[in-house]
A and B are shown apart, each in its own frame.
Chain A
């Protein structure tokens, strides 16, 4: 009792987390490759800080420009991750509202790949933007230690994967309530920024601020980046920075995958 349609061989695909993650990642990168200008445009904010905030630092500290940049630029690189990657969940939220997220949920993709592939994609803008900022700071007296730069970028990437995963989690949890996504994101981002000693040193701050900053993973990543860009690859803060970034990535991916599994 066969019909003509049953002669078609069953070539249906089986979920494969590694291949699915690769496919999600390459899809996410397509708009970036098609329109690389978007990466440049989101550099405006760190450039503003570099151009308008760094001179104030120079003025108030009295230190030479090169020395100030050596302290400030690693923080700006972390800022790129904090603002860029921290907001990336809004892209997913938009796709949840317009419908394409639903399409990927019906596709035979492992649920973890839908989160991990997106989080891994964050590496691309982070590395490109960080390299551009470093190259811009270079002529003004910022010295580049190549091994430190490479390890520093790797650390930023791991930090970005964690932060990106958390941003996607927030999007999955807040669903179509954009105001809630941005409300939570903005509420968290500025305390994390200020309590990381990214813009101004915390050494002069009150004891309670310094106490809180010790549990701020962003603070550890900033300190590690400063050590790495100074060429102190063996500094203990580098180890702490890696621990903070890896813990954030593991936690971010774990809660993100859980949220994706519950997504519908």
Chain B
């Protein structure tokens, strides 16, 4: 099975020194990714997602531990790793002074493609990523969504077996985001590309990733499919409404017996969180009916990954991300030698350009 793994990380740890203080951005990361998987690192800002990706793509060396990526050691054979991966960073891959198509051709040359092959591939990507209308424009002139599509095209130029994407849809409007995802899904369908990405968008990880690694404070705290994470860690929220408080009070025992979970009551409303809610809901309605209690309303709300995160950390993703924006910037830009450079990174300005 080992040769099936396209990424094997062992004990990856990264510590930064910021203003004399040592900060551990990533702690003892150990996981494997099989060929063809679509994996998402999900976590709040500052969780260590980008730092992990930057280690795996050879941009920064780990403080300790190592990883094999596409069969090569990130520390001993970084050049071999680089030649076989695609990387779409958090910012803009194309140089602002270059034309979009020129950048694709340069990228092809960087990866050893012949001029003919690079031209053919560039035109193919221009077509499939809808870049045709502005391929001869300079990157500076492109909109946020157009820039992002060019970033993806640049990452795919050499048809890598493994593609890393760091926050690919940050700053995109919903339509551009959906578009981008369609391209990523098509890519996997056509070429079996392994896709490894980071995101702090719950819906995105939930909807598209086959496997979600939840990251918080530098550690992976859960690793499974979104469906299983939700079923095992969160469960559906079932709510039953009754005509009277007496009925509701009587219903608590019935629902508790059925679900074996803690049941809450608020006036005429009874709620319970349990897995398999779709099957439980009708079963509960029948049991309550049989007990002579008339259910007037019944709703089942499936859990989100935010509920998973809440169950794991006691915080919601949004709470966890708040006030840690600065930490994330530090994480992205600072290396151990030069800690001061982090402060004024205009992340939102460059990737977040709207329209």
Contacts and interface: CB of A to CB of B under 8 A. Distances in A.
Given A94-B96, A99-B350, A177-B341, A108 B82 contact: yes
A99 B89 contact: yes
Contacts of B112: 11-14, 108
B83 A100 contact: no
A26 B109 contact: yes
Interface string B129-140: 000000000110
Interface stretch (B99-107, B196-204, B314-322): B99-107
Contacts, number: 123
B265 to A, nearest CB: 53
Interface stretch (B236-244, B274-282, B295-303, B332-340): B332-340
Please tell me the size bucket of the interface on A: 35 or more
Contacts of B57: 106
B264 interface: no
B60 interface: yes
Interface residues of B, number: 54
B93 A5 contact: no
Interface in A88-128: 91, 94-95, 97-100, 102-109
B93 A176 contact: no
Contact of B94 (A97, A100, A108): A100
Interface in B45-64: 54, 57-60
B79 A14 contact: yes
Chain A interface, DSSP helix/strand/loop, else mixed: helix
A27 interface: yes
B182 interface: no
Contacts of A10: 84
Contacts of A105: 59
Contact of B350 (A6, A12, A14, A98): A98
A102 B110 contact: no
A91 B140 CA distance: 13
B330 interface: no
Contacts of B139: 100
Interface string A35-77: 0000000000000000000000000000000000000000000
7 contacts: A14-B112, A97-B346, A99-B90, A100-B92, A100-B95, A106-B87, A173-B338
Q: Which 7 A-B pairs have the closest CB atoms?
A: A99-B91, A13-B112, A12-B83, A175-B341, A108-B83, A27-B106, A5-B192
